[in-house]
Amino acid sequence: MVRVRFAPSPTGYLHVGGARTALFNYLFARKEGGQFILRIEDTDIERSKKEYEERLIEALSWLGLDWDEMYRQSERIKLYQETAEKLVREGKAYYVYAYPEEIEKTREKLLQAGKPPHYNQDLLKEFDTPERRKEYEKKGLRPAIFFKFNQKEYSFHDLIKGNITFKEGTIGDFALLRSNGMPTYNFAVVVDDADMQITHVIRGDDHLSNTLRQLAIYEALKVPPPKFAHVSMILGPDGSKLSKRHGATSVEEFRSRGILPQALVNYLALLGWSHPEGKEIISLQEMIEAFSLERVSDRPAIFDIEKLRWMNSVYIRSLPDDEYLKLAKPFLESTGMRCEDEKLLKIINTVKDRIRELSEIPELVEYFFKRPQVKVKFEENEREALKQIIESLKNTEWNKKEIVKAFRKPMKEHGVKSKEFFHKLRIALTGREEGVELDVLIEILGFEEFQKRIEETLIS
Ligand code: GLU
């Protein structure tokens, strides 16, 4: 059975690159009838934070990517320690009684001597003295455990990148366990992927070079490695790796701007993958049905915020009224714009076709809640017509049809030119040059508000 995992380190918010990795794993698992595992890689105790873990989980749930099993590496330390000890017993790894600074110094010395900075057991042996062992014992420290890297060429077939070969002599021995008992990233990943019976590792190609160390560890553990699929990076419009510099990059930021999860998922799916029929607006179900790793490109994808915003506008337009209202409400309430649901829906519907992010709504509909501070000069005949319009609106049924009707006669009687008049009226009522049709606007404002706004803006 296909088993894949998304393995974020809780050291920051969920980046769109991470979200795309999660999505590809999820789609592949669902397509193959397999399982999708969430593994929190929190062994870097200094950088990992519970808060980040919670936010990661929240962001993944918001995207709708549900997982079948969840693990935390910090709860599996014993397994890493036991596995490392086993490798020591088998002669495939060894204890190192050196402090990190000493290990670093050894590296510098090698570099100074013009040698490649590769560790080996002989080099690190110098620290293993009886005094040092005693000192470690007294301080309650454990020796680090280093892996004896088997010097040879390693190669594998990547499902996206094709055949990859790592030449002999590019790395030396490396740590599996630190002296604080924590595993290194490469070791924990292999122990877990093996233990969790992961069949496919789909991850960013920034991890491609780590695959060498991981292959060597699989070999030492006598476990066949999973299949690998390294997805190319997401770049900003300038061709450099997508980062804060390019604007919003975390899932949370997009969420808070009012990008819908369906739109973000749809957009991310197309960053590196394409639908066999070239479809652009695709539901999660359709993605699952059509997903394959063969259609994942080996070239980097460019993040195009305008395309995401366009896609979001398509999803916003297709929202049913109640959903749209529910999603838009917090954006309005946070800026103090409140009224009863029925009216609020009418208000937000005036901009539904225009917005690309829900966060654009408050600015666009502000005038419904706040009278515009404007003065408008109406001509004598226009003022007369307005008086009559107000009179007849006062006694009419309040709907668009009657509102339109109430304008006709007075305008005709006073010879009012509609284009100019309506333009002035719009400014008087909204303070803006353009926007929703006047009849819709007046209907939403209601009679009293309409009258008030006219009277307050009139200058004779
Ligand atoms: N924890 C790693 C990261 O956050 C991912 C490990 C992997 O996918 O192999 O980048």
Q: Residue 410: which CATH number?
A: 1.10.10.350
Secondary structure (DSSP) of 35-101: EEEEEE----TTT--HHHHHHHHHHHHHHT---SEEEEGGG-HHHHHHHHHHHHHTTSEEEE---HH
Q: For residue 209, how far is its CA from the centre of ligand 1 (angstroms)?
A: 12
Q: For residue 185, how far is its CA from the centre of ligand 1 (angstroms)?
A: 8
Write phi, then psi, for 16 (nearest 5 degrees): -60, -30
Average pLDDT over residues 304-327: 98
Whether residues 196 and 339 fall in one domain: no
272 within a domain of the structure (yes/no)? yes
Q: Model confidence at 185, in pLDDT bands (50, 70, 90)?
A: very high
pLDDT tens-digit series, residues 187-219: 999 999 999 999 999 999 999 999 999 999 999
389 within a domain of the structure (yes/no)? yes
Tokens 């969790």 sit on residue: 196
Residue to mutate, 21, 25, 185, ligand 1, most ligand atoms under 8 Å from C-beta:
185
Burial track 310-333 (b if 16+ CB lie within 10 A, e otherwise): ebbbebbeebeeeebbebbbebbe
pLDDT at 458: 76
Cα-Cα-Cα-Cα torsion 125, 126, 127, 133, nearest 10 degrees, comes to 70
Average pLDDT over residues 385-409: 94
Q: What percent of the chain has pLDDT over 90?
A: 94
DSSP 8-state class, residue 182: P
Residue 244 annotated among the catalytic residues of the structure: yes
Residue to mutate, 16, 44, 60, 203, ligand 1, most ligand atoms under 8 Å from C-beta:
203
412 within a domain of the structure (yes/no)? yes
Whether residues 173 and 108 fall in one domain: yes
Whether residues 83 and 226 fall in one domain: yes
Cα-Cα-Cα-Cα torsion 48, 50, 53, 59, nearest 10 degrees, comes to -130
pLDDT at 247: 87
Average pLDDT over residues 120-143: 92
Q: For residue 8, how far is its CA from the centre of ligand 1 (angstroms)?
A: 6
Whether residues 108 and 133 fall in one domain: yes
Pocket of ligand 1, beta carbon within 6 A: 7-9, 41, 189, 203, 207
Whether residues 191 and 243 fall in one domain: no
Whether residues 204 and 82 fall in one domain: yes
Whether residues 249 and 139 fall in one domain: no
Q: For residue 147, how far is its CA from the centre of ligand 1 (angstroms)?
A: 20
Ligand 1 atom with the shortest distance to the CA of 204: 8
Domain count, the chain: 4
Q: What percent of the chain has pLDDT over 70?
A: 100
The sign of the torsion formed by the CA atoms of 45, 49, 54, 56 equals negative
CATH number, domain containing residue 107: 3.40.50.620
82 within a domain of the structure (yes/no)? yes
373 within a domain of the structure (yes/no)? no
Check whether 459 has a pLDDT greater than 80: no
Ligand 1 atom with the shortest distance to the CA of 206: 10
Average pLDDT over residues 99-104: 91
Check whether 244 has a pLDDT greater than 90: no
Q: Which domain holds residue 296?
A: 1-71+232-318
Q: For residue 128, how far is its CA from the centre of ligand 1 (angstroms)?
A: 33
C-alpha 142: how far from its chain's center?
A: 39
Ligand 1 atom with the shortest distance to the CA of 21: 8
Closest by CA position to 161, among listed 230, 225, 235: 230
303 within a domain of the structure (yes/no)? yes
> Which residue, 368, 398, 433, sits at the end of a domain?
368
Average pLDDT, the chain: 96
**CA–CA separation, 288 and 441 (whole Å):** 43
Residue to mutate, 3, 5, 9, 52, ligand 1, most ligand atoms under 8 Å from C-beta:
9
Ligand 1 atom with the shortest distance to the CA of 8: 4
Whether residues 81 and 226 fall in one domain: yes
pLDDT at 248: 85
pLDDT tens-digit series, residues 1-60: 999 999 999 999 999 999 999 999 999 999 999 999 999 999 998 999 999 999 999 999
DSSP 8-state class, residue 356: S
Protein residue with least CA distance to atom 7, ligand 1? 7
374 within a domain of the structure (yes/no)? no
> Which residue, 185, 212, 231, sits at the end of a domain?
231
Whether residues 403 and 363 fall in one domain: no
User: Could you tell me how many residues make up the chain?
Assistant: 460
Name the active-site residue from 105, 134, 244, 387: 244
375 within a domain of the structure (yes/no)? no
Whether residues 128 and 212 fall in one domain: yes
Whether residues 266 and 276 fall in one domain: yes
Whether residues 224 and 266 fall in one domain: no
> Which residue, 185, 215, 231, sits at the end of a domain?
231
CATH number, domain containing residue 346: 1.10.8
